[in-house]
Amino acid sequence: MKLIVITALWCPSCLLMKPRIQKVQESMSAITFEHLDFDFDEDKVKALDIGKKLPVYILYNDEGNEVIRFKGEMKTDELERKIHDAMD
Amino acid sequence: MIYFDYSATAPLLPAVQSAMSEAAKTYIGNANSHYALGFQSKAYLDQLTQEIQTILKIEDHDLIFTSGASESNNMVVQTMRRFPKEKCLITTPLEHPSMIAPLSVLQHEGYRVEFVGIDRNGQVDLAHLEALLQTSASLVSIVAMDSETGCKQDLKAIADVVHRYPEVLFHSDVTQALGKMDLDLTKVDYASMSAHKLGGPIGIGLLIHRRGCPLTNLIYGGTSLSRYRSSTPPLMLIAGLACSLQETLGQRDNKIQVIHQMLRDFLSGFEGVMINSPIDCSPYILNFSWISQDSHRVQAWLSDHEVYVSLKSACSMDDVPSQSVLALTQDPKRALTSVRLSFSKQTTLNEAKQFKSIFRACYQQLEEHR
């Protein structure tokens, strides 16, 4: 499974979330994390049609199909729980 | 035309235009040149620097002329690379993108960045600030006035807390605050500003730097402008900067408070329109949300009727919620639909009355076609 995380350098919510995302990444080794920057990975981000809020998290299954996407600030355990729930 | 977007930029003041034109005509020599024309330019540069220090009431601080507050903010953040990564950089979610972005870069490199809590009035939580300082910090950076909502910080109270930790440096982005609230710049180690918010030219700003505090160059080269920031001194721009400060500082206008209150009361009367700027915010900024409408549509409608407003800080991405409104209201809907009116001494009561009439029409039309 893969989780794409889209953030931007200028985004305060992203600044807040990065340490939490890192913790989750370290604890969930079964998932591949791919980090995209809203500005510097413009082409890839545009293709994902992510709307108006950052950060964005998009989970894909092993077949490459999108399972779920969600957005914004949340506590570390909530982020972990959302990913676990989606995996189930 | 009704221009209510002075927080984005202020039109060049006539006096500034004259000062710049005069400087360009009179001082043609490079201030680095070792002959009469150069010496004249250098003397003028020294005179302008002295004038600005006097206006800002800062004797223990040096002035570093930069291209604007964005560069100044970046200089301060880059300076923090001197310190161990474990020492946190403390800031707020209300900061301008030119503060958040370089902090994000440092965070990516392993530096610890912490947000101090903001209460529902947009004020820094001083107890939380103290708790963060106790974990070991190198920098506290807090914007003096939020560009989107007009929330003012009590820099003196914040400085009192920070100064209990003498190794911690204190920076404030005063870009929106200068000329619009009482500021004691002696309380900070660094302050950033841009001239164009005060009716000066775009492309010049200041980093106010307390002597003895560390500073890392972004631009190395000759030291004529400053050893911390190389460049041929842009005398015309600096003249514009000095003049804009002279024209605007110390000339607070009660009319702005009247205009602000008039429009606050007026907008509050519309169903679905909510005021985001706290009661004690700067009168120069009024932020509201019209939650049943796409704010781009509101902005476009007003623009078609020659009323110019912003949805958020001009330097923010257009289709991203206002972080400042989100921090104040915790309401994503309000953050997505916010509109900012910002005023200056040039704003007139007549413009405010005209705005009311235009907005009534805007409300009627957009609500009818919702």
Confidence of residue B324 (pLDDT cuts 50, 70, 90): confident
Per-residue model confidence (pLDDT) at position B238: 98
The verdict on A32 touching B (C-beta cutoff 8 Å) is no
Per-residue model confidence (pLDDT) at position B98: 96
The answer to whether A15 contacts B320, with C-beta atoms less than 8 Å apart, is no
The answer on pLDDT for B313 being more than 60 is: no
> Which two tokens mark B300?
């476009």
The answer on pLDDT for B314 being more than 60 is: no
Q: pLDDT tens track of chain A, all 88 residues? A: 999 999 999 999 999 999 999 999 999 999 999 999 999 999 999 999 998 789 999 999 999 999 999 998 899 999 999 999 998 8
pTM of the model: 0.93
The answer to whether B113 contacts A15, with C-beta atoms less than 8 Å apart, is yes
Per-residue model confidence (pLDDT) at position B284: 96
The answer on pLDDT for B218 being more than 60 is: yes
Give, in degrees to the nearest 5, the angle at Cα B78 between A33 and B130.
85
B337 closest CA partner among B296, B365, B286: B296
Give B144-157 pLDDT, tens digit per residue.
Answer: 999 999 999 999 99
The verdict on A68 touching B (C-beta cutoff 8 Å) is no
The answer to whether A9 contacts B332, with C-beta atoms less than 8 Å apart, is no
Q: For residue B337, count CB atoms less than 10 angstroms from its CB and return exposed for 0-12, middle for 13-18, buried for 19 or more.
A: buried
Q: Which residues in chain A are closer than 8 Å to B104, comparing Cβ atoms?
A: 9-11, 14-15, 18
The answer on pLDDT for B188 being more than 80 is: yes
The verdict on B279 touching A (C-beta cutoff 8 Å) is no
Per-residue model confidence (pLDDT) at position B224: 78
- How large a percentage of chain B has pLDDT more than 90? 86
Q: Which residues in chain A are closer than 8 Å to B327, comparing Cβ atoms?
A: 12
Per-residue model confidence (pLDDT) at position A87: 85
Per-residue model confidence (pLDDT) at position B332: 85
Q: How far apart are CA B40 and CA B44, in angstroms?
A: 6
Per-residue model confidence (pLDDT) at position A17: 96
The answer on pLDDT for B315 being more than 80 is: no
Give B6-47 pLDDT, tens digit per residue.
Answer: 999 999 999 999 999 999 999 999 999 999 999 999 999 999
The answer to whether B321 contacts A53, with C-beta atoms less than 8 Å apart, is yes
Instruction: Find residues 286-345 of chain B whose CB sits inside 8 Å of chain A.
Output: 316-317, 319-321, 323, 327, 332, 336
Residues 6 or more apart whose Cβ sits within 8 Å of residue B182: none
Q: What domains are defined for chain A?
A: 2-87 (3.40.30.10)
The answer on pLDDT for B317 being more than 60 is: no
Structural fold of domain B2-9+252-368: Aspartate Aminotransferase, domain 1 (3.90.1150)
The structural domains of chain B, with segments of one domain joined by +, span 2-9+252-368, 14-248
What are the strands of the beta sheet with B273-275, ordered from one edge? Answer: B273-275, B285-290, B338-342
Instruction: Find residues 113-172 of chain B whose CB sits inside 8 Å of chain A.
Output: 113, 115
The verdict on A11 touching B (C-beta cutoff 8 Å) is yes
Calculate mean pLDDT across residues B315-341.
81
Q: How far apart are CA B74 and CA B192, in angstroms?
A: 10
- Cite the DSSP H helix spans in B137-275: 155-162, 235-248, 254-268
Per-residue model confidence (pLDDT) at position B336: 86
Give B260-292 pLDDT, tens digit per residue.
Answer: 999 999 999 999 999 999 999 999 999 999 999
B14-248: CATH number: 3.40.640.10
